[in-house]
Amino acid sequence: MEELWTIRRLGQWATEYLTRHGVESPRSSAELLLSQVLGLERIGLYLDFDRPLTKDELAGFKALLLRRRAHEPVAYIRGKREFFGLELAVGPGVLIPRPETELLVERGVALLAQAERPKILDLCTGGGAVALALASQLPTARVLACDISAQALAYARQNAQALGLEERVSFLQGPLWEPVAATGGFFDLITANPPYVTSGEWPCLPPDVRDHEPRLALEAGPEGLDVIGPIIVGSRAFLRPLAWLLVEIGAGQGPAVMALAQAAGIFSRIELLRDLAGMDRVLACERGDYG
């Protein structure tokens, strides 16, 4: 007789299998991939745990499990990732949105909650997570999102269309301020989730990240400031008076980015926002009067 593989039994076995192969978050990985194959929400696995899988479902799950064993990120395997309540398409060549980046969006929404038709610029937009989350929460906002990677922008445009935000979010390709300069615009808010991993940290990253996600979106020189520095300095030319700059930073970069912001000489207020782990995560700077 053939073995009967129920959802519960297969989930337990897959979790142990991924654990033996050193995969991060083995239980979560197994359940997300199993729900993908079965077309269920994750909670559905628990509600129907005694359901047996068909041969085709077992074969499909095995194929996904082998990819995860090779440390391919679950988000790439599933082709999607949730961020700030939005389902975003992701894949090779685009950074996977992280929960800690939602702090940046939360502050941006709070700053512009009372603004009429605010103009927002999102640098290093990747797959558009920050830009689209802000647009979804601020229905009168216009957002310009820029990235150097054509591959990442393809995902960003796809996500904007899927979410019905393509009329209010536009995209430009190029390095940092170069595509923005041609627009001649000023903004009420500038956001960025730039690369900030140091060159020394790069080899030590988990294989899920190091071997699969784009290095261009992650690594930024010996101190991890090769992109953050130009963002802070260049914002002078594009921020309206009393507008804000919000930049995600690495956990140990607080003092360095505070010093960069103070040296820029244009900000009346400089703050560091901490994430749920108590780590410095977002540099928040308000521009003073022009001068």
Residue 209: count of CB within 10 angstroms of its CB:
17
195 marked among binding-site residues: yes
Cα dihedral 154→164→104→253 (10° resolution) = 0
CB 123 within 8 A of CB 191: yes
The verdict on whether residue 50 carries a ligand-binding annotation is no
**194 annotated as a binding-site residue:** yes
Whole-angstrom distance, CA of residue 130 vs CA of residue 195: 14
User: According to the annotation, is 196 in a ligand binding site?
Assistant: yes
Residues contributing to the annotated binding site for substrate: 193-196
Residue ranges of the binding site for S-adenosyl-L-methionine: 147, 193
Write out the binding residues. 147, 193-196
